[in-house]
Amino acid sequence: MDPLYAASIIFILLLFYLGIGIWVFAGLFLIGFSSLYFIADFPLARIGAILEPTVWRSTTSWELAAIPMFIWMGEIVFRTDISQRLFNGLAPFVNRIPGRFLHINVAGSALFAMVCGSSTATTATIGRITLDELQKRGYSRSLAVGSLAGAGSLGLLIPPSIVLIIYGVLAEVSITKLFAAGLIPGLMIAAIYMAYIAIVAMFRPSMAPATADRSDWRAMLQGLRLLAPVIILIVVVLGGLYTGFASPSESGALGVAVTIVMTTLQRQLNWKLLLESSLAAVRTSCMIIAIMVGAAFLSTTMGYLHIPAGVARAIDSLDLSPAVLLIVLAIFYIILGMFLDGISMIVMTLPITLPIVMAAGYDPLWFGIYLVIMTELAQITPPVGLNLFVIQGLTGRSIGSVALDALPFFFLMCLATAILALFPQIVHWLPGLLMSAK
């Protein structure tokens, strides 16, 4: 069967299974099985022989051990007052900037992303603290919601990122290098968001009214004391990674240990918190691994049907320039992100898109950052933008209203992608610096 025809059938099956509400990993397995059995005419015994090594290969990479560690660390932090400390600690530093406390959404999300690795957890944690507080102080509700939706997605890009770990395992790229490559672009996007908020606030001061909160050096020192737990975690996790002292998995375990010690010293750790956080980490980790296994099986199926090679030849025949190829892929991922979560989107498409972009001359390290930003865009794109659902749950507003508030930050993220395409050295600078230091 023609590879493009087979790809069309798989895409239709994907839409069908997702449309009837079946679990993503189950849908991936069913699509893979149906394609091998009905399209490739493989007997059941051969399908089983394909499935067994695929499951083993996709679940036994040591790097995957970092996923439950970073998730567990974020779950513990989520259940303590560290997030509340973020708001109070950052307040003195942003009070004199146009936009004032609206910047806490962005700065708080960026800092929390450095100890969490999850976009939805970052959005939920920061939003739980800031949205009501900003409303009480008379800040613009739309700008508060929009900035939270955009900044919350930074949990996917700023290390330690669960999505970067998954991409590194699938693309066989160093996770430490990916973590280094994602830091500067993540901070750059945060800076772009803060600049936009400041500009809007300068032209419309009523969106960020003045407050009586102190912002002198004493208040800033007090703020640093409140931020100390987060800063310690960042230094331990990222410092261990970038100095080569620990691998990603070891850094995750070290971060969990330090988090437990800090919460114990603050007398916040108890058996209930430990049980709830560990169970939540297990559930989320199992969900991620199940999707990866299903996607690995589907990717293997597409290989047997020669779909990646066929699609690559079709795109190559269009003779697209590298810049146009990126734009086409961006449109493809934005549309796909309307129906799939970010992890599913990456693991399902990578076998096709990675060879294409490498043939066009793009480095897999740079493409990993590009792909994660596409995933971030999917987080704030209806109807399946996970960050939008989180904020809807926090505010009670409709998905359409939240998406409209997030729209300026969607375009700002597109601007950041264009900057990274024009200046790829932004991605490569920190990994290159760390490699030269070693």
The whole-angstrom separation of Cα 342 and Cα 287 is 13
Query: What single DSSP character describes residue 361?
Result: T
The token pair at 408 is: 């300026």
- H-only helix segments in 153-247: 162-171, 175-203, 217-242
Q: Please name which of 76, 267, 239 lies closest in space to residue 159, comparing C-alpha atoms.
A: 239
The whole-angstrom separation of Cα 304 and Cα 93 is 56
- pTM of the full predicted structure? 0.83
Residue ranges per structural domain of the chain: 3-62+285-437, 64-279
Cα→Cα distances 242→68, 254, 393, 407, 434, Å: 20, 14, 37, 35, 7
The whole-angstrom separation of Cα 51 and Cα 418 is 40
Question: What pLDDT does 18 receive?
Answer: 66
Q: Please name which of 351, 343, 257 lies closest in space to residue 7, comparing C-alpha atoms.
A: 351
The whole-angstrom separation of Cα 71 and Cα 252 is 9
Question: What pLDDT does 219 receive?
Answer: 86
The whole-angstrom separation of Cα 261 and Cα 182 is 28
The whole-angstrom separation of Cα 22 and Cα 25 is 9
User: Tell me, what amino acid is at 22?
Assistant: I
Question: What pLDDT does 148 receive?
Answer: 93
Q: Which residue in this structure is represented by tokens 């395409």?
A: 421
Cα→Cα distances 361→356, 374, 375, 401, Å: 9, 19, 22, 40
The whole-angstrom separation of Cα 45 and Cα 299 is 19
**Torsion angles phi and psi, residue 198, rounded to 5:** -65, -40
pLDDT in tens, the chain (438 residues): 677 778 788 778 877 776 677 777 788 888 889 888 888 889 989 989 988 888 887 777 777 888 888 888 888 887 888 777 887 899 888 888 898 889 999 999 999 888 877 787 788 888 888 888 888 888 999 999 999 999 998 988 998 888 899 899 889 899 999 999 999 999 999 999 999 999 999 999 888 887 656 667 888 888 899 898 889 988 988 888 888 888 888 888 999 999 999 999 888 889 999 999 999 889 888 887 887 788 788 878 888 888 777 776 777 777 788 889 999 889 888 887 776 667 777 877 888 888 888 888 899 999 999 999 998 898 888 766 778 888 888 888 888 899 999 999 999 999 999 999 999 999 999 999 887 766
